Chain A
Amino acid sequence: MTIGEVATLIEGEIVCGAEFQDRNVGRIIASDLMSDVLTIRDTEDLLLISGLSNLQSIRTCEMSDIQMLLVVRDKAITDEMKELAEENDMIILKTAFPLYKTCGILYGAGISPIY
């Protein structure tokens, strides 16, 4: 499934990186704990879903080579976050849905968890 199709399923909005909406979402991790995310070795085709929306969530993606981020619960995404994400060719989505509902929809749609 592409990240653009994910956006449709979770009634989300593409905040930045719309040119990357054809990227394949192979697996998902949902976490607010960035140290946990930083332990993942293989991050290819990985989507991070998080309720954490700050510069460190973008930095964590940068260091981990994660290029797709979905922010839940309609958290604000600042211009600084967008700028850093764009520098790293990331696509960021946001949804008003909470974490549990978001994960449920995407798990039901057949996207595998990372573990």
Chain B
Amino acid sequence: MDFIYHVEGGDFTNAGSTSSEVKRMLKKLGVSPEIVKRTVVALYEAEVNIVAHAYRGDISVNLDSDKIHIVLADEGPGIPNVDWAMQKGNSTASPKVREMGFGAGMGLPNIKNNSDELNIQTEVGKGTTIDFVNYFNK
């Protein structure tokens, strides 16, 4: 099963609505609560990243019998130094993002901790693609 969701940059009112929908879907399918939580925490962090940093993005969700594969592709400023951004505490978030409770440089490390496979591709001035997989029987 494949699903596509659109996310607008700066739209904090709807930030997390895709994660919420995916959570409901996984619960309905009977996926274990621990895997559901890991998946939606990683997805929510990545979804908030699009809202906080990018102009817009698309989230594609592919559900298989043994795994969920999620790709978040945004049009935005890109990440100049991924290694730097992967370290806890490093962030370029605006004051507005910090007011929302994010932007403390925990997002990317948290996505890594909550995914089984993670791949980040980014190009400065174009955008970022975060691609992660979680297995249901791990």
Contacts and interface: CB of A to CB of B under 8 A. Distances in A.
A38 B88 CA distance: 14
A56 B41 contact: no
B48 interface: yes
Contacts of A57: 101
A56 B101 contact: yes
A8 interface: no
B33 interface: yes
A64 B104 CA distance: 18
Q: Across the A-B interface, give the 4 residue pairs with the lowest CB-CB distance, nearest first.
A: A34-B101, A35-B106, A59-B16, A63-B44
B113 A56 contact: no
B35 to A, nearest CB: 12
Interface in A27-43: 32-36, 38-39
A33 B37 CA distance: 19
Contact of A60 (B37, B101, B113): B101
B37 A65 contact: yes
A56 B23 contact: no
A51 B1 CA distance: 40
Q: How large is the interface on B (under 10, 10 to 19, 20 to 34, 35 or more residues)?
A: 20 to 34
Of B33, B104, B106, most A-chain CB atoms within 10 Å: B106
Interface in B82-102: 100-102
Interface of A: 32-36, 38-39, 52, 54-57, 59-60, 62-65, 80
Main SS of chain B's interface residues? Answer: helix
Interface of B: 12-13, 15-16, 19-20, 23, 33, 37, 40-41, 44-45, 48, 100-104, 106-107, 110, 113
A55 B44 CA distance: 13
Main SS of chain A's interface residues? Answer: helix
A55 B41 CA distance: 16
Contact of A63 (B19, B33, B106): B19
B33 A65 contact: yes
Nearest to B19: A63
7 contacts: A34-B102, A36-B106, A39-B106, A59-B15, A63-B16, A63-B37, A64-B41
A34 B100 CA distance: 8
